[in-house]
Amino acid sequence: MLRPLFLATAVGTVLQLIMVLWGHSEPAVAAMFAVGGMGISLIAGLVYALLARAGLRAGALGGAIAGGLCGLIGIAVSLALGDVEPMLLLLGTASSAVTGAAGGALGALLARRPAAKA
């Protein structure tokens, strides 16, 4: 189960870094850091659960880890660039973990769903 976690975290981290670096020079993107960052964490959780084919609890847990880690890395880079306040490291990481868990739970439900018959 480490490979899906690594891949989901990597996908989320790359997307977070793109958003953070773009937002550093574009105020309109920076204004969407919260929504964008949580959305990316949700995607990381979804990717984890789809790759891991885990159950609901394991999908949510793995999604929370992947979403929280990629959010933490993105926020840390944004903090280093001076674009966010230090308190956001805690609050943003927690929010990212929650949305990652939601994505993981959704992914687990989607992975469980039988394919439609033609």
Q: Evaluate whether residue 69 is within a structural domain.
A: yes
Q: Evaluate whether residue 104 is within a structural domain.
A: yes
Number of domains, the chain: 1
pLDDT of residue 112: 83
Q: Evaluate whether residue 118 is within a structural domain.
A: no
Contact of 75 with 89, CB cutoff 8 Å: yes
Full domain range(s) for residue 60: 2-22+29-112
Q: Which residues of the chain have pLDDT under 70?
A: 1, 114-118
Q: Evaluate whether residue 117 is within a structural domain.
A: no
CA distance readout (Å), 86 to 6, 27, 92, 93: 26, 19, 10, 11
pLDDT of residue 115: 62
Q: Evaluate whether residue 49 is within a structural domain.
A: yes
What is the distance of C-alpha 101 from the center of its chain? 9
pLDDT of residue 1: 66
Cα angle value 33/36/39 (rounded, 5°):
145
CA–CA separation, 22 vs 51, rounded Å?
A: 28
pLDDT of residue 54: 84
Q: Evaluate whether residue 98 is within a structural domain.
A: yes
